Amino acid sequence: MTALRQRKGSRGKDPGPSGFSWWTISCVMTGSIVGVSLGLLCCIYVSTLHENDLWFSNIKEVEREISFRTECGLYYSYYKQMLKAPSIQQGLYELIHDNTTESKRTINILQRMNIYQEVFLSILYRILHIQTYLEPIYFYIYTVFALQTVYVIALFITSWVLSDSWLAGALSGVWYILNRVDTTRVEFTISLRENWSIPFFALQVAAITCYLRPQLKPIHQRVVLWLVFVSTFCFCLTWQFNQFVLLVQALIIFTLDCLDFFTAEQVVSLYLMQVLSLLLVWLLQFCNSMILGSLVLSFIVSALFIKHFQVSVHLSTQKILQLKSDEHIFKFIKAKFGLGATRDFDASLYLCEEAFGLLPLDTFERLAGTVLLYPYLCTLSAFHHTSCREREDRTFRMRPDVAYNLLHTVFFGLLAFSTMRMKYLWTGHMCAFAAFGVCGKEVWSLYLRVLHCNTRTMMRLIRYSVPIVILAFLYYKFWPRMMEEISELREFYDPDTMELMEWIRLKTPKRAVFAGSMQLLAGIKLCTGRVLTNHPHYEDQALRERTRQVYQIYARQSAEAVHNELGSVGADYIVLEDSICYERRHSRGCRLRDLLDLANGHIMDGPGENEPDLISASHPRFCEAIKTDMPPYSTLFTRVFKNKTFHVYKLKKLKKKKQS
């Protein structure tokens, strides 16, 4: 009896290290299995959708390459180029001394573009000796789809750490998959830079959340901080817009530092991880001045040393480095908020695209349909009430990791509201934050306190029952839809583009130079390897000027002026697209021909108002007039290919007049 009493007493004081350890291990193992399973499910899901939508395994290689639309084709072409090179060293040399991406110029692709992922994959494909059973294109797309596994696991970890329940991780993963339309577009824009980088950004947020956990041991802090650095570096290396995303994150850190949520060591460490990542990418990109003169570096320096001189430091950096590569971004921001000229061609190209407009309201209808929006809003409102309580009660304090994720979702939510394309930085984290609200103690303690039933038993019952009920409802409602969706079979069909690519490949010289729209030229480079005059990677001032120069083929310009413009960039052929020349997708004022007319000071086509200083053009629209095949067009251009969509003209070489 005495021994029994002692055993009971000791059990009441201490749960016992072995029992606690086994329970913790079982929870961690279960959560880990669920997290990895959800990540793999997401990977298989988007891969199946991609296969079923295009019938990718049964179409020709040229059709597979055509499916890489716009800039996706440009990035993938460098992966293909590296694999075709006789050796890795020769492939790297050709990228560093590239003379096919921009005619009459030799540029360093590794400096200009974020394509180290293509380089890494091409080298990995060579050394793994998997060529016999896995085609290069499948190795590429499977790698991108596998990053979705990393993304889901990162969201799983974030919500798990915040709520201390792996059910939150399961809920965040399920929400991410069900809201696929608003969380990712990887299945149809595979090689977009954001599909490479955002999974690493989610991993960085998960690492920061772990780093900010209270009472974290120093050894664990160092390990997690290294994970922050590695994920930040991978994020920066794979996306050219990294500096703008990190600027928002730096503002979050600065705000929380001002509110005393972070220690000085935490602030310096997080800023240092950002700076080191950017500097390492700067070195790998051959000292790309766009990185060194970025706003985020200026802001971090200002925040750490002399906040008062923030503006002057940035302006002086821009002036010293003579930065103009990201000038179009600032023009776009100014024009979007009515602070800049609306006739600027580069800014208008962005403003007229739906992806750079405001977030559509139907987004919230879809998010509400998966029961994501309601707990998200409830969580935000609960923390708004909590912040008010914190101001009244100085003894109450929000956890640093919770405070960071709260500001993270608010800041990136505002960014998503302003620019639809940026919603992919917000909606994934939205899933994790809403799941934390459902499974965490903070939100439920507030609501239970209002209902006067805030007991430990009730808290535990609600925290575990509510997510299970939501998961059961989501399974019942959406699982049949998902099965129906992946059973739908379609097939890629674009015969006009395929006919054009085959003609170029078979009927034109290998060093022929093509001019046309940025989107089409990226596909021409990928499918045929021909030289381009311009391309969709717009982060270079000289390229932007050249693009405006080439796009005069859709403006009201004389045949001689267009011939001279194209000849100055070395073009041998021009490809005209009826979908651009007679565009109806955009409204008046946003069609490409309208943007060119405005930039040239000409009155736009069609009924509608025009600004008073615009004048009538003295020449017809080139893309229409050239089809008459009358002089002077027939004197300067010869049509060599035509189908329902494309018209290809060869520039005639004019004989130089002999000087008397």
- pLDDT, tens digit, 9 for 90 and up, residues 441-489: 888 888 888 787 878 888 889 999 999 999 999 999 999 999 999 999 9
pLDDT at 34 (0 to 100): 97
**Cβ 281 vs Cβ 236: under 8 Å:** yes
Side-chain half-sphere CA neighbours of 651 within 13 A: 25
**Cβ 115 vs Cβ 192: under 8 Å:** no
pLDDT at 395 (0 to 100): 45
Instruction: Give the sign of the dihedral formed by CA 212, CA 216, CA 218, CA 221.
Output: negative
Do β-strands 637-642 and 646-651 pair in parallel, antiparallel, or remain unpaired?
Answer: antiparallel
pLDDT at 343 (0 to 100): 73
- pLDDT, tens digit, 9 for 90 and up, residues 360-414: 999 999 999 999 999 999 999 888 776 666 555 554 578 999 999 999 999 999 9
pTM (two decimals):
0.91
pLDDT at 326 (0 to 100): 55
Is a pLDDT exceeding 60 seen at residue 430? yes
pLDDT band at 312 (very low <50, low <70, confident <90, very high): very low
pLDDT at 339 (0 to 100): 60
Mean pLDDT for 497-516 is 97
pLDDT at 572 (0 to 100): 97
Is a pLDDT exceeding 70 seen at residue 315? no
Mean pLDDT for 417-436 is 95
Q: What percent of the chain is modeled with pLDDT above 90?
A: 71
Q: Which residues of 303-337 are buried (b: 16+ CB within 10 A; e: fewer)?
A: beeeeeeeeebbeebbeeeebebbebbebbbebbe
pLDDT at 18 (0 to 100): 41
Higher pLDDT, 176 or 340: 176
pLDDT at 7 (0 to 100): 38
Residue 609's contacts (CB-CB under 8 Å, 6 or more residues apart) are: none
Which of 214, 307, 201 has the alpha carbon at shortest distance from 262?
Answer: 214
pLDDT band at 659 (very low <50, low <70, confident <90, very high): very low
Rounded mean pLDDT of the chain?
89
Mean pLDDT for 69-90 is 96
Place of tokens 């629209």: 621
pLDDT band at 337 (very low <50, low <70, confident <90, very high): low
Backbone angles phi, psi at 576, to 5 degrees: -100, 135
Mean pLDDT for 200-210 is 98
pLDDT at 363 (0 to 100): 95
Q: 487-495: long-range contacts (C-beta < 8 A, 24 or more apart)?
A: 487/52, 488/52, 489/52, 489/55, 490/52, 490/53, 490/54, 490/55, 491/54, 491/55, 491/58, 491/59, 492/54, 492/55, 492/56, 492/59, 492/63, 492/64, 492/66, 492/67, 494/63, 494/66
- pLDDT, tens digit, 9 for 90 and up, residues 210-244: 999 988 888 999 999 999 999 999 999 999 999 99
- Cα 428 to Cα 199: distance, rounded to the nearest angstrom: 10
Is a pLDDT exceeding 70 seen at residue 561? yes
- pLDDT, tens digit, 9 for 90 and up, residues 283-311: 999 998 888 888 899 899 888 875 434 34
The alpha carbon torsion through 458, 461, 463, 469 (nearest 10 deg) reads: -130
- Cα 257 to Cα 264: distance, rounded to the nearest angstrom: 8
pLDDT at 341 (0 to 100): 54
Q: Domains, the chain, ranges and CATH?
A: 144-487 (no CATH), 495-651 (3.40.50)
